[in-house]
Chains A and B, each alone.
Chain A
Amino acid sequence: MSIPLPIIGVSQAIKSIKELIKHVADTALNIVITGESGVGKEVVAQNLYFNSNRKNKPFIKINCAALPDGLLESELFGYERGAFTGADQRKKGKFKLAHKGVLFLDEIGDMTLSLQSKLLHVLQSGEFSPLGSEKDIKTDAWIIAATNHNLEQAVKNGKFREDLYYRLNIIKFYITPLRDRPEDIPPLIEYYIEKYSNHFNTDKLLKPSKKVMDSLLAYHWPGNVRELQNVLKRVIILKDWEEVVNELNSSILPTSLAVKQSDESSIISDLLDPGSLETKGLESLSLKIIKKKALGRIEKEVISYVLGKTGWNRSKACKILKISYKTLLYKITDLKLEPPSNLKRKLS
């Protein structure tokens, strides 16, 4: 892994996180990182790894929410050749790959109870066995788990095993939402503007005016640091603080762009037919269908964004999108796009 993103901030919350990393990075004790989507749980995990004596060993990540149970199990523990239909060769599990390194279990709160008990067994015994194998393999993977769920609540509701909760939660990191630590916004802006200017090879942008900064500080950042990053990328491309901030405040910027921005794996689970993999197995997977769905989703997002920007002026929108008027009308119907209610009356 290359050098991870630094943990930026001057708030007490961020200072405590940095301090905690320093004191526990070499202990290899199980860790749970909690916090809303987009606060930077994975960045904390990477910083832990990078500051530990395991940094030259593998850092293996798996998203527990992205895969159906059976697939997740075979990803975690691996399988032997012939373990099930289609297992035509041996596959190493993540526990094996992460031996002496880090196993980052993202979205642990979404793991099913049955897999939780298998995970608990590995954590208790330090051993696992791949599917179709009778041999137990020792593992010395440092477990760092992350979730945006409230695990205490999940334990109370019977969704998360209490014994697993205690075993994982030896060290607890909680990352405060960005809106509760606005003092971190200016240093974050400074860092990412510099980074993205270099990346997009553009001239360095002027600092935001006081008015712009006040708006940014007052905004509630539902998508946290990830949303701020997206906003800053737009500022760099559009070279206009005012416009981007106005968009933010009038919420024209589609929230899906800002908030959903979930990582690629949950997009995959989104695009797969829910449950079909479990019931019909891998054979039900079709790249063609997924491609069509993914494309449809992106088209819908882009077209609705442009329509929003043009106040649903379809002639303007089709010029911007560089498609014919007729195609645009077809897409609007096909993708079931509807103008916001305040525009509906005007248009009809």
Chain B
Amino acid sequence: MKKKYKLLIIDDDENILAVLSKYLRGKKYAVATASNGLEAIKLFESEGKDFDFIITDLVMPYITGVGVISIVKQKRPEIPIIAITGWGEHPEALATESQADLVLKKPFELSELDNLISNLLSKNNNNDT
């Protein structure tokens, strides 16, 4: 049976959070959400080992996306992370530096996101075996 991957989506924009989680649940992923970086880190500390993939916004209150990526990668360097942003190049460059696997600029097609997730997950699985 195909494994059901669990994604953590972090964004302080409720609408984006709703759209992304609805779409990805439809793609048969299990989805957890957090509306800011602090909530995300708390979730990650309690059930981090269950997550297979993280999608995070960059500009958020408390802990920014760059902070989330740095903290998560310190604990689980292998977990794939996509950073999504609508801002200028500076946070993007920082996100890459803090080891986001990919930076996706808003607006993007949902199918594009789905493809990227599948690619990163299969790349990750190949590395594991």
Contact = CB atoms under 8 A, between A and B. Distances in A.
Given A27-B70, A29-B71, A166-B91, A172 B38 contact: no
Interface string A156-187: 00000011011101111110000000000000
A203 interface: no
B67 A27 contact: yes
Interface stretch (B13-21, B57-65, B104-112, B121-129): B57-65
Interface string B64-94: 1011001100100000000000001011001
Q: Is the interface of B mostly helix, strand, loop or mixed?
A: helix
A20 interface: yes
A169 B45 CA distance: 22
A20 B64 CA distance: 12
Contact of A171 (B62, B90, B94): B62
A28 to B, nearest CB: 9
A171 B67 contact: yes
B88 A23 contact: no
Contacts of B64: 169-172
Nearest to B61: A172
Place the interface of chain A in its size category.
10 to 19
A125 to B, nearest CB: 12
A150 interface: no
B70 A23 contact: no
Contacts of A174: 61
A170 B90 contact: no
B91 A20 contact: no
Contacts of B61: 172, 174
Contacts of A172: 61-64
Nearest to A165: B90
A171 B40 CA distance: 13
Contacts of B91: 166
B103 interface: no
Interface of B: 38, 41-42, 45, 61-64, 66-67, 70-71, 74, 88, 90-91, 94
Interface of A: 16, 19-20, 23-24, 27, 29, 162-163, 165-167, 169-174
